[in-house]
Structure 1
């Protein structure tokens, strides 16, 4: 456990957070502490201090820039609330500001509103129906090998044991179940370099990529219904690169293809499918993460879904629910932010959804 910093130093360097305050005000306070990926320490210090001082019923520890807390009440079930505290780079959208019911600022939607709801409930629910674990983690918005959840899984696996995991990713206050898997490959075509003035002496690798694009254009993606959630697959070229100069016939071209696949496919099955689509071409895998099944048949997930009074939908995109699913833990996405506003300059969150999400979770947990 990291040593406590003397209070005289903390008061001058660590922002004060009131976890018992209105969740909307707490959201604004979290947003106003910059925490771009890799630079979350100030916010981590503030959260750790607030949890230690305002939630004495919780066991609190640190893991790098992540803050973890939990109850030990001996309840029959444990619910884990997880939220990343990092953001994408700031785009002239700090400090936060209000316009009516909307709160603007970097990270409002993805996902400090969800963090605020979780932290508020952690401090104010002293006798929850279920035992609770809180995981506020770092480096979600960057490369996967730096993700704080991965570090916690390796170093503190007992802290991730639960009967249900709720990830506070922005869902607009609805339940988004599971997630798509993602695969990215590079497809190379080859030719022979030559001076473009004597192009007949060469063999243009960029022209050979036309067949790759034709296969993509002819591809028919699947719609897959799993537990009432329809996952839509997609196979798309996301980058193409070739050529070394304006007067040279290129001898290599690289087409980067991204496959978003339904969670009924394993990672190996997804890769095998893409190899079939592009049979005859050289493929290099640059990213591969499995999806997560909805997990809605678990009793704890059914109880939460009933508490929301809504119908679950498929999660389009990859989230860290995949990590929990791989551990055999039913996991869902539920947060007040709007996923369509994530990472934008105009990022904002509807404060009414913050309050509604807080009420739903309090009803389920309390």
Structure 2
């Protein structure tokens, strides 16, 4: 584990080797400073880039007067380190040769220091890209959305993030995943009248009143929606439920928390209106609201990017920061090395060749 604020990054390294070097710099959310310092120092040494710092977010830009500008973005922070003794998914990185190839184990290998390594190598290599490029390395992605470094820059310096198209290097197994579903959480509370359970007829059971809410959830038929050629599966589910105060008291309050994942054919407001229709008669207490993102695959730059990757694009079912770009008017896709199912696990890892393949695809597109 490295806590040295003077960490040095060599951007001429093979991207897989640089991935391991990045993992060695522990950067759990709220502790991104040393890694952000190292990234900033390495980028400021490149004369073809202008570099900006906002907190622990670092932005580097080419200004070659190209007809298009694209963004390559990735977050520097990771979730906390594994607590299980002997886990390989911690810090520092562990290199292994396995039957399927060379592998890097460690926290952030998949989510998402492999993608960040690719960004850094490209920032060094592409002195004359065919499109102007903005490289974004941001803090606080793995925590509450209101702490996001990307969101902070969008508020403080939105001009730095103006672009025609964006690629977020989240792990996608090397496949372009366009846009993302939106997500919202809300709570429905029912009320009754408290009473001793030995004289229950005097009271009014608030938990029983949740039966209608649960019946509507069970009966709901989630849609599959095609947007720009990609099929997005929606979902509506109860994720938490609670009520009651004691074993001999009829509860006067009960609540259920609901999560709705909605396709990018709807705005946030339209999705809210749909939920109000599904739960007519109930007040919805909004807990979290995150818009969906259209994939933007109809843009010429996106079509050329898909061609450079050489795989059929897929939809992104989970929410990612592509939604922030989309909301700012920048169509965005997810594309990065590693299996998203390994993110945050105790054996988080990425194959060396996956990092290199991601680098080759982006270099081909931008060269």
**What residue number does 1:342 align with?**
343
- SS of the equivalent of 2:350 reads strand
**What residue number does 2:49 align with?**
58
**What residue number does 1:23 align with?**
15
**What residue number does 1:327 align with?**
328
1:273 to partner: Cα distance: 0.9
**Alpha carbon RMSD of aligned pairs, Å?**
1.4
**Given that residues 204 and 252 in structure 2 are in contact (C-alpha distance below 8 angstroms), is that contact kept between their aligned partners in structure 1?**
yes
- SS of the equivalent of 2:107 reads coil
**What residue number does 2:5 align with?**
13
CA spacing shift, 1:207–1:363, aligned 2, 3 Å: same
- SS of the equivalent of 1:136 reads strand
Q: Deviations over 1:293-320 (max 9, x none)?
A: 1110111101101111111111111111
**Counterparts of 2:4 and 2:327, CA distance in 1:** 42
**Given that residues 4 and 34 in structure 2 are in contact (C-alpha distance below 8 angstroms), is that contact kept between their aligned partners in structure 1?**
no
**Counterparts of 2:275 and 2:33, CA distance in 1:** 40
**What residue number does 2:86 align with?**
none
Tell me the TM-score normalized by structure 2.
0.94
Number of residue-to-residue matches in the alignment: 355
- SS of the equivalent of 1:281 reads coil
Spell out structure 1 runs of 4+ moving beyond 3 A.
none
Counterpart pick for 1:84 among 63, 75, 99: 75
**What residue number does 1:98 align with?**
95
Alignment of 1:1-366 (within 5 A): 13-53=5-45, 55-92=46-83, 93-100=90-97, 101-366=102-367
1:197 to partner: Cα distance: 2.8
**Counterparts of 1:120 and 1:290, CA distance in 2:** 32
- SS of the equivalent of 1:211 reads helix
**Given that residues 193 and 252 in structure 2 are in contact (C-alpha distance below 8 angstroms), is that contact kept between their aligned partners in structure 1?**
yes
**Counterparts of 1:106 and 1:139, CA distance in 2:** 15
1:12 to partner: Cα distance: 6.0
CA spacing shift, 1:248–1:224, aligned 2, 3 Å: same
**Counterparts of 1:131 and 1:270, CA distance in 2:** 35
- SS of the equivalent of 1:216 reads helix
**Counterparts of 2:347 and 2:212, CA distance in 1:** 39
- SS of the equivalent of 1:343 reads coil
- SS of the equivalent of 1:198 reads helix
Tell me the TM-score normalized by structure 1.
0.94
